[in-house]
A and B are shown apart, each in its own frame.
Chain A
Amino acid sequence: MNPSEDDLNCLLKTWTVPRSPDSLEGRLRRAYGDRARSRTTPGLLEVSSVQWEAAPGRQRKCGRGVWSRWIAGFLPFAGKFAGVIAVAVVLLAVITRAFPQSLGLFVPPGAIIIDSEFLDYGDDGSSTVSEYRTSVFSTPAWVTDTSSVSHIYGETTLSSSFPGDPLRTTAVELLNPVKVILDPVMHRMFDPLFYKPGRTSYLRAVGRYAAARIRNNCTPTNYGGTPMTVIGRETLLNYTTTVSQSEGRDARFTQWFALGLDCLPLRSTTEKALPDGTFQLASERRVLKVTTNSSRTAAKEPSR
């Protein structure tokens, strides 16, 4: 006998299904927590709070999971990023090696470019050149109302070589072009005053100080906190310089400030103090060549 439609309906209705187990809720809550954590890359604070609150056992494991996911999430990106940076650095180095004048694109107008050598002196008075360097002292835009205070703002190395140390030369030469390009950015990133409202007035004060010093025949007041005294005048590379000296307990510092170059030092020496009270030359930086940009207007030698 074949069942009727109603019979079949009644029979089908007898199939009952158990209720969903209570454990399902707990399972889902745990899965929710895991998904929520994996959906968002945790910040450092969040990661540390997870680890801080982690109890031994399961939760502690969870903390490590977050870390490993966090790191694993960045690894592919970090690898690619490092690769791109490495290729860019090498490319930049090749270009600047092949076309040294290309770095000039990054030298701002009004800058002073100098070639200098660094010497180390032995106890017998012999000297060795430790580095040749070409660097630029640029005029920051914010000193338009005074005059250049470029050397206060810092020096950017265009190229350098270390005689007898080709490995170091190669490494530094690779990085120099990067530094030339990145320096303006880095100055802004790490200048503690850059985002502060008092920065403009501070810089103007620095500019006024520099301008006053230039007007005052490059007479400095101190060197690294040690008072400096003017001990004479000398001509170096056709620039009149004011020779200033500061004396500490263990060493004596002497600098030759060029009057026509906004008090840029053309020579600096460090002498170490000997037990008998005399001083012995220990190191020196000497400018070999000065190139000034024709657009430079402030580099006028003050009248003596």
Chain B
Amino acid sequence: MPEQTDEALLDLAGRSEAAFMLLFERHREVIFRVAYRLTNSAAAAEDITQECFLGLLDAPGRFDPAKGSLRTYLYGAVRNHARRYHGLHDGDVDLEDTQVNEAAEVSLVFLQQEQSQVIRQAISTLPVQQREAVILFQYEELSLEEVAVILGIEIGAVKSRLHRARARLKRILTPYFQGSNTR
């Protein structure tokens, strides 16, 4: 039996729980992973994942296959939910210009933690917009074009956010590199 496309399953999802759950199984890990990285919270990621999929039921017409795949649409949904989790809405203050006290974020305790934990904390210090770009590009390995579509910005803006995010991460992680080299 040929595998059902996401679009076909989505058509059935409102009437068939099986179709809906199949869609969920296909995308759950990705959506949870992105939600987790964007919020730094397993509980929030769980909530967001659920809302993203239920959103498909409430407004199935919102997904337009002509604009991209269902996965891309879900990336956009998870990003919007994560923004709401952070208390942000579209049009809110551009956090890229927000100054983060990097020195305060990097403590000595930082150096003693697991590497994964270190990165997690370092990324959580990024402004939300930079964090989104890093997570989609660096971790989800999406193309610049896809990231631009999901974030609703120009490719140049994506590059700019990535550049600033990486520069900031380098600065934040420098003590860790120094520490790990001396350990």
Binding site for B on A (CB under 8 A): 1-3, 5, 7-9, 11-12, 14-21, 23-25, 27-29, 31-33, 35-36, 39
Check B120 against A15 for contact (C-beta < 8 Å). Answer: yes
Interface residues of B in 82-124 (CB under 8 A from A): 115-116, 119-120, 123
A67 nearest CB across to chain B (Å) = 23
Which residues of A are found within 8 Å of B123, using beta-carbon distances?
12, 15
Binding site for A on B (CB under 8 A): 14, 17, 20-21, 24, 28-29, 32-33, 36-37, 42, 45-46, 49-50, 53-54, 57-58, 115-116, 119-120, 123, 134, 138-139, 166, 169-170, 173-174, 176-178, 181
Given A15-B120, A24-B49, also A31-B33 (CB < 8 A): no
Which residues of A are found within 8 Å of B14, using beta-carbon distances?
36, 39
Number of residue pairs A-B, CB distance < 8 angstroms: 90
The listed residue (A12, A27, A29, A35) touching B57 by CB distance below 8 A is: A35
15 A-B contacts, Cβ less than 8 Å apart? A1-B181, A2-B170, A3-B177, A7-B177, A12-B119, A12-B138, A12-B139, A17-B36, A18-B36, A20-B45, A28-B24, A35-B54, A35-B57, A36-B57, A39-B14
Check B170 against A24 for contact (C-beta < 8 Å). Answer: no
Which residue on B lies nearest to A5, using beta carbons? Answer: B166
The listed residue (B42, B53, B120, B166) touching A8 by CB distance below 8 A is: B166
Considering the chains assembled together, what is the distance between the CA atoms of A16 and B42 in angstroms? 13
The listed residue (B17, B45, B49) touching A32 by CB distance below 8 A is: B17
What's the dominant secondary structure at chain B's contact region? helix
8 more CB-based (< 8 A) A-B contacts, given A18-B42, A31-B50:
A1-B174, A12-B119, A17-B32, A17-B33, A20-B45, A25-B28, A29-B21, A32-B57
Which residue on A lies nearest to B117, using beta carbons? Answer: A15
Which residue on B lies nearest to A33, using beta carbons? Answer: B17
Check B50 against A11 for contact (C-beta < 8 Å). Answer: no
Which residues of B are found within 8 Å of A7, using beta-carbon distances?
177
Given A3-B177, A32-B20, also A24-B57 (CB < 8 A): no
Given A3-B173, A15-B119, A15-B123, also A29-B17 (CB < 8 A): yes
Check B119 against A25 for contact (C-beta < 8 Å). Answer: no
Considering the chains assembled together, what is the distance between the CA atoms of A3 and B57 in angstroms? 46
Considering the chains assembled together, what is the distance between the CA atoms of A18 and B178 in angstroms? 28
Considering the chains assembled together, what is the distance between the CA atoms of A15 and B122 in angstroms? 10
The listed residue (B28, B169, B181) touching A24 by CB distance below 8 A is: B28
Given A7-B177, A20-B29, also A28-B50 (CB < 8 A): yes
Considering the chains assembled together, what is the distance between the CA atoms of A33 and B45 in angstroms? 21
Of A1, A12, A23, A31, most B-chain CB atoms within 10 Å: A12
A184 nearest CB across to chain B (Å) = 42
Check B115 against A14 for contact (C-beta < 8 Å). Answer: yes
Which residues of A are found within 8 Å of B45, using beta-carbon distances?
20
Check A14 against B116 for contact (C-beta < 8 Å). Answer: yes
Check A14 against B119 for contact (C-beta < 8 Å). Answer: yes
The listed residue (B46, B138, B170) touching A21 by CB distance below 8 A is: B46
Which residues of B are found within 8 Å of A23, using beta-carbon distances?
46
